Amino acid sequence: MSTTTRTTHPTHPTPAHDAGAGTARRTTSAGRMAALARAEVTLLIRNRTALFTALGMPPVMIVSARTTLDRAGIPAETGLSTAEVLLTGGIVTVLALVVYTTLVAAYVSRREELVLKRLRTGEVRDPEILGATALPAVVIALLQILLLVALGTALWDGQLPERPDLMLAGVALGTVMTAALAAATAAVTRTVESAQVTALPLLVVAFAGSGIAVPLEVFPSGVADVLRVLPLAPIVDLVRGGWVGGLDSAGTLRALGTALAWTVVSVLAVRRWFRWEPRG
Amino acid sequence: MTDTAISASGLWRRYGPTGDAGFDAVRGLDLEVGQGELFALLGTNGAGKTSTLEVLEGLAQATRGTVRVLGKDPYAERAAVRPRIGIMLQEGGFPSDLTAEETARMWAGCTSGARPVREALETVGLAERAHVRVGQLSGGERRRLDLALALLGRPQVLFLDEPTTGMDAEARRATWQVVRDLLGQGTTVLLTTHYLEEAEALADRLAIMHKGRIAVSGTPKSVTAQGPSHIRFRLPEDIARWQLPAALGARGVGDDVRIETYDLQGALTGLLLWARDHRVQLTGLDARTASLEEAFLAIAGDSRYDDAAAEVAAR
């Protein structure tokens, strides 16, 4: 607390207001988002918890999944190797941990600190605020995904993904979906601390029932059909099918349709329920 | 004739559903602020000041009525209006892990024609605190940072919602000077405040809101004149209260006499003539002319203004 700061007010030669439309140097959407994203990167670097979730958690999860898989073994009928399950599942793990978990906390924290409320008084538009806040986490996630692909390519004698277009669609839809689900989860989260609880259901669903670690083929077909409708399951299908193949056209359409539906639903949920200020 | 910078006519703002479950925070408010003018909006908590301000700023939509800021609808045409106005909320925040300068830089990137960040921080006296994180700033310093951001785009119209709350006396005076400098440069300012002296010191015109309507408005002088004046003295033991001229309407307890009047000179003359005629010594005689505070309290505690509002509502 410093009240000793000198409060002098040097007069600056301030140009008179341009009485006209004020068209001088209007901000652009890209410029505004860059300014916000830059601040967001600074905040991420200074927040150890968020930084660990984003950088440290994915390797930990992937390594621990490997131990589990080694012990349990992957049923032969899936036709997948341990590495194939790990690396493709790893991509969705990265989306769930880096994009989803980091962003639930970020949105809640910006809202509770009244940052969102203040930002909305300026020229920035709502989607720009949400997008810029997500940007650093998304970039980190995409870099980690690239790293996983590079690792797989090296591991499998330079064999490139079978259908890169499907993988790309999966990652793109997965990114938008997890970011939007994070914003929607933030709507029902009161504090940054409680974000650890409210984010849990989706994470549990993702890891246990989306085929990240355990391919859905392992489940009885009725159960598998239900699990396939969960948010991250089609992303796993698209990424795995795109990388190692084995996804027929019906499966592709179904995965794309489900992923798109979840993405649209989560974006609509944000538009409908996202709160920009703490509950009064 | 000056051009109008801000205008509202028949402005209503309702929260919640129709019927008893809802609440009309603003009930048919008319307002006009000329360019380069400082207009202060006063009122008790819940009078509807912030609700009004949010509509004028374009943060919320009016339930009814028209609002124009620089000739445009601040809500429907926000993209055109926002670059030309500056807003300081009563309660707005910044990430606590960013420094003051980083915060201002972020805001500058989102502001058309932003002035240099350093200059803005210097204007509010925060240059020496530029590298301190927002979380470590005092409440008053945070308010000053907020003000710096509101000024960043050299706004033509500035909305200040209780700008000096939480500031110490020195910072408050310094902030007044910042506002005066802005007025000197032709900026229009709409201010709400809890400090009546602040309104008296800065405002060209002011309005006192009560229950969603403007109860009184005018120059500080004319509004002040609408409040009662006060006379106070102690009555000697040998004089009973009933012996005082009835016209004075004396109140108070025991020997402490208080008179409330809208004609200070007349009441005082009557009192002093009576005292001379009866050879009464009025100890502790104190006469004070109407103040803005008196006008304010008179409105806040006067049901007449409630009736006036209800009348309009029924029409």
Task: Please determine, for residue B313, whether its predicted confidence score (pLDDT) is greater than 70.
Answer: no
Bridge partners, B159 (sequence order): B87, B190
A9: nearest CA partner in chain B: B123
Q: Could you read off the pLDDT of A129-139 as tens digits, one per residue?
A: 999 999 999 99
pLDDT of residue B304: 54
A34: nearest CA partner in chain B: B109
Task: Please determine, for residue B172, whether its predicted confidence score (pLDDT) is greater than 90.
Answer: yes
Start-end of CATH 3.40.50.300 domains in chain B: 4-90+152-169+178-224
Q: Do A123 and B185 touch (CB under 8 A)?
A: no
Q: Stretch A122-126: mean pLDDT, rounded?
A: 96
Q: Could you read off the pLDDT of B114-146 as tens digits, one per residue?
A: 999 999 999 999 999 999 999 999 999 999 999
pLDDT of residue B287: 93
pLDDT of residue B303: 57
Nearest by CB: A25 against B80, B112, B144: B112
The total of other beta-carbon atoms located within 10 Å of residue B130's CB is 17
pLDDT band for position A83 (50/70/90)? Answer: confident
Nearest by CB: A36 against B93, B110, B187: B110
DSSP E strands: which ranges in chain B? 4-15, 23-34, 38-43, 64-69, 85-88, 157-161, 188-192, 205-210, 213-218, 229-234, 256-261, 283-288
The total of other beta-carbon atoms located within 10 Å of residue B138's CB is 18
Task: Please determine, for residue A2, whether its predicted confidence score (pLDDT) is greater than 50.
Answer: no
Nearest by CB: B110 against A7, A8, A35: A35
Q: Stretch B192-218: mean pLDDT, rounded?
A: 93
Tell me the chain A residues in contact with residue B59 when contact means C-beta distances shorter than 8 Å. Answer: 120-121
Residue from A6, A111, A123 whose CB has the most chain B CBs within 10 Å, to mutate: A123
User: What is the DSSP pairing of strand B23-34 with strand B188-192?
Assistant: unpaired
Task: Please determine, for residue B291, whether its predicted confidence score (pLDDT) is greater than 90.
Answer: no
pLDDT of residue B177: 96
Q: What is the ipTM of this complex?
A: 0.84
Phi/psi of residue A225, nearest 5 degrees: -60, -40
Bridge partners, B42 (sequence order): B208
Range of A29-33, A223-227, B163-167 with top mean pLDDT:
A29-33
Instruction: Find all residues with CB under 8 Å of B143, minimum gap 6, and list them.
Output: B163, B164, B165, B166, B167, B175
Q: Could you read off the pLDDT of A13-70 as tens digits, one per residue?
A: 444 444 444 456 789 999 999 999 999 999 999 999 889 988 988 888 888 888 877 7
Q: Could you read off the pLDDT of B46-92 as tens digits, one per residue?
A: 899 999 999 999 999 999 999 999 999 999 999 999 999 999 999 88
Q: Do A17 and B185 touch (CB under 8 A)?
A: yes
CATH architecture label of B4-90+152-169+178-224? 3-Layer(aba) Sandwich (3.40)
- Under 8 Å CB pairs connecting chains A and B tally to 137
Task: Please determine, for residue A12, whether its predicted confidence score (pLDDT) is greater than 50.
Answer: no
pLDDT of residue A145: 95
Percent of chain B with pLDDT over 90: 72
Q: Stretch B267-294: mean pLDDT, rounded?
A: 91
Q: Do B106 and A5 touch (CB under 8 A)?
A: no
